Amino acid sequence: MDYCYQSAIICYSIGYFIYLIFGLVYLIDYFKISYECTQSYIWEYVLVSIFIGTIGFINRYIYRKAHIQDYLYLLACLSSVDFCIAIWGGVELTNISCTKLYYTPLLAFAYITFLIQIFTSISCFLFNCLYALFMYRHHSDYNEV
């Protein structure tokens, strides 16, 4: 069981660092195009998403051995921030006003970032709800005995 968990953490870390490297490369490569497109904030959205994602990644690593309720509060806060940034990204991705950004890897990366943020924030929210339901039923079953 411990090897499976460690393998999952290693794969998650490698995947995140690959995601981070590609994001930074796209931000550097397409800065000039995004600077010319004053009406679009796709570049800024990707930058903020990478920054907040890195903070979340570090916090998940630091607090992984914390009490489960503290860790769930942390997940709830991080998923709320991710969801708010995903709303901003959704608005930016539906209102692309600069045609120079079409068909660029930066735009594709922004879509992938948006999907990851939506998936992680909803799954963390559902996990917290299921955990709360489980704990409520466990405590109510315990109190009935």
Contact of 113 with 34, CB cutoff 8 Å: no
Percentage of residues in the chain having pLDDT higher than 70: 91
Mean pLDDT of the region 29-52: 92
Query: How many domains, in total, are found in the chain?
Result: 1
Mean pLDDT over 128-134 rounds to 80
pLDDT score at 79 = 86
Mean pLDDT for all residues in the chain:
85
Enclosing domain of residue 58: 2-144
pLDDT score of 144:
55
